Amino acid sequence: VPAGINIPNYDDIRQNEGFKNVSLGNVLRASYGAGDKPVTFILERDQALFKAFKGPAFEVQVGIHELLGHGSGRLYHKNSKDSVAFLESKVKCPWDASKVLDGPFYDEGTTWDSTFGKIASPYEECRAECSGIYLCLEKDVLQVFGHSDVVKGQVHDIIYINWLLMVRAGLMGLEFFTPETKTWRQAHMNARYVILRVLLEAAQGLVKLKLINNDTDVLVHLERDLIPTVGKKAIGDFLEKLQVYKSMGDFENASQ
């Protein structure tokens, strides 16, 4: 059951006409319940905090995910006014200033889904989820959701638990992977696993997975103080490429 929806689900309508962002309050409220049992994969030291803040943190994530994740980003089609103006502007590649972005752009009459095919849904969910954990680091964003007790230089509990939720979700997502066919049965779970991999590859002690009970279980260690530095850079760099490849219609690079 979705906790939020960005409608309509057509990029051209969103881009040219507008959209609505819907949060389903009953679904969000259901996420507040934690129960007495320990939460899987979560360290003992984080159990109480996780249970206390997972509902409010999820509400922030859903809001950003739908509004600023799915709701942002322009698509450029070949020979359109937008693409012509874009080429004239000579926009430099964000991660390589020696290069200028010049397409390939979407073919006339094509859409995001028809161009990106099977990876369109998980790719888009990955972009939206990254938007959520990246932008929740902003003080102004937290204040919109009523969290005004932000202290400069400190990682707010909402931020920490939101990131911890994402790391745990990456592990939980493996339930939706079919090894025999090497396919994912759910787009959001695929996206969350990819984000977990990005955070693990960032290294520097940001995220560690510790095997326990004779390697039959695992615990997540998320270094709270590294979220605004190592974590933010890793997700920011990844999100930047996700957005550029989507806007440019660059399926070749996006699919690697």
Helix axes of 120-135 and 232-248: crossing angle, nearest 10 degrees = 140
Give CA–CA dist 185/182, Å, rounded.
Answer: 10
Inter-CA distances, 139 with 13, 15, 23, 39, 158, Å: 31, 27, 21, 28, 11
Three-state helix/strand/coil letters over the chain: CCCEEEECCCHHHHHHCCCEEEECHHHHHHCCCCCCCCCCCECHHHHHHHHHHHHHHHHHHHHHHHHHHHCCCCCCECCCHHHHHHHHHCCEECCEEEEECCCCCECCCCCHHHHHHHHHHHHHHHHHHHHHHHHCCCHHHHHHCCCCCCCCCCCCHHHHHHHHHHHHHHHHHHHHEECCCCEECCHHHHHHHHHHHHHHHCCCCCEEEEEECCCCEEEEEECHHHHHHHHHHHHHHHHHHHHHHHHHCCHHHHCC
Active site residues per annotation: 66
Helix axes of 187-201 and 232-248: crossing angle, nearest 10 degrees = 130
